[in-house]
Chain A
């Protein structure tokens, strides 16, 4: 039973402004799996995540979450959008934002029960955010805010957690911390994670599967299956080399093809 996919994306096509953004994209995510959705900027990662959330109309194909068609009321999904700009002047403590994960869709005023408050405390502990839980959300650092957004998404106990570029704009130390945190909660909460990124190296130690997106098409499988010269060359439509060096991956195009949308092709940092 645990092999039943929590997410089935079946041959979906999406057109935006006359341009085909996603062209028969297919992949599955199984319970508790960590999936990296890798592609350079503008390749359709956000569109794909919005499609999974039911916020994007599909031209073709279908998406099932826990076996059911998607709907915005489907509470088995947690979501961390790409950009949440919180003004430091918004009078909301980090703790209050996490609690909104439980009841943002409810109308009226109801007192939160002791059980709900315990749940908030528990999740703040699990994402290691107790220190700044009573500070204003807008005053926190990027890494601290990311923990709070993750807690907000997790508190509804989803089966699937979608994160749109959560590592962008974080310093290298925060990237490491957030990745380790996600890896831990995926295991502890039994939640499957789909995380989009334009840089895959930070994710290599934790990714179970990768969905590599370029030119509207996707290749999926384990990292070793997908991040290979043959697979990626076919996807790009021209030859690319995959270099594996010191546990890091580098995708390099032939001279003259460098401007193609290769993620982090200029990243030559070696630890």
Chain B
């Protein structure tokens, strides 16, 4: 057992906080991510991470909680993208690109100020690449409330959201307010990005948002299996990443742990690669459809 889990893993306070916050944020990111992938809004998702960077670095400078900065930045960015025209299919990329560029410019300023203020590069490292082991246990309730909020949005609009991802005209013809759905989704996406920013850093939060979703969408036949699988992959990658990072303290001679984000993102990428193998894809799809057949027969 000690080869896998080095001593003190489960009794360690920061590890426990990391496991809770990492697990919860991985679930939210994965669920929102499945819809991001379906709506082909990965680029918008990435732009939100950049705006979250700006918010996080500004919050750090002002001495506020980076989590609030990440989420505040993301929500403001989502609003700006909507105003510029992210809803129009043709305006989407341009609107996203403009918001992204501006946000990164501001982030450069704030990160510079953060570094000067704290007289170290730790701030930059923490904002961009995360430091899940330094999270304050008192932030757990806030993380859970925000996660519940994002999941509540997705749950309540899931059908109109799915419909609007397929055909704008068909959605409008059903009397669904396309713009309201789009804005609500962007808010859920901003919250998800903010949450995963504290886990893996703002720059890498795209990986947690898109990765598990992209992998599960490759192999799951229906929406529900895709959501469950994405959440499972996200949580597994995050927890294993935390474990490896903790263990890595004992691997390297200098007794310096390696960054958690590196492990999480690598594991997610590995999932994506494995689900791309044709025989794995087929196996999964057949497994899910077989279960459906059995359950139907028993009804």
Query: Which A residues are closer than 8 A to B by beta carbons?
Result: 50, 53-55, 71-73, 77, 79, 81, 84, 86-87, 89-93, 96-97, 100, 103-109, 134, 136
Contact = CB atoms under 8 A, between A and B. Distances in A.
Nearest to A137: B166
Contacts of A54: 173
Contact of B166 (A86, A103, A107): A86
Contacts of A100: 159, 162-163
B170 interface: yes
A116 to B, nearest CB: 13
A93 B222 contact: yes
A97 B221 CA distance: 13
Contacts of B40: 87
A91 B156 contact: no
Given A50-B169, A72-B174, A107-B157, A91 B225 contact: yes
B256 interface: no
A84 B162 CA distance: 13
B170 A79 contact: yes
B175 A55 contact: no
B176 A104 contact: yes
A72 B173 contact: yes
Contacts of A104: 159-160, 162-163, 171, 174, 176
Contact of B170 (A81, A93, A103, A107): A81
B118 to A, nearest CB: 43
A224 B160 CA distance: 44
Contacts of A71: 175
The secondary structure that dominates the A interface is loop
Interface of B: 34, 37-38, 40, 155-160, 162-163, 165-167, 169-176, 216-218, 220-223, 225-226, 289, 292
A96 B217 contact: no
Greatest chain A CB density within 10 A among B162, B170, B220 is at B170
A107 B222 contact: no
A91 B226 contact: yes
Contacts of A50: 169
A153 B296 CA distance: 25
Contacts of B225: 91
Nearest to A109: B155
B170 A92 contact: no
Greatest chain A CB density within 10 A among B156, B175, B217 is at B175
A104 B162 CA distance: 8
Nearest to B167: A84
Given A84-B167, A107-B159, A109-B158, A79 B173 contact: yes
B176 A105 contact: yes
A84 B160 contact: no
A13 to B, nearest CB: 22
Contacts of A84: 166-167, 170
Nearest to A153: B170
Nearest to A93: B222
B160 A105 contact: yes
A55 B223 CA distance: 29
A106 B176 CA distance: 9
A93 B221 contact: yes
A111 to B, nearest CB: 11
Contacts of A72: 172-175
Contacts of B165: 90
Nearest to A138: B166
Nearest to A107: B156
Given A81-B169, A86-B166, A87-B40, A106 B223 contact: no
A90 B38 CA distance: 6
A166 B260 CA distance: 52
B74 to A, nearest CB: 24
A77 B172 CA distance: 13
Given A53-B172, A54-B173, A105-B175, 11 more contacts: A72-B173, A87-B38, A87-B40, A90-B166, A91-B34, A91-B221, A91-B222, A91-B223, A97-B166, A104-B171, A107-B160
A44 to B, nearest CB: 16
A91 B40 CA distance: 13
Contacts of B162: 92, 100, 104
A100 B163 CA distance: 7
B87 to A, nearest CB: 15
Contact of A89 (B155, B156, B218, B292): B218
B110 to A, nearest CB: 37
A54 B221 CA distance: 35
**What 10 pairs between A and B have smallest CB-CB spacing?**
A72-B175, A91-B226, A104-B163, A73-B175, A81-B169, A84-B167, A79-B173, A105-B174, A53-B173, A107-B156
A136 B221 contact: yes
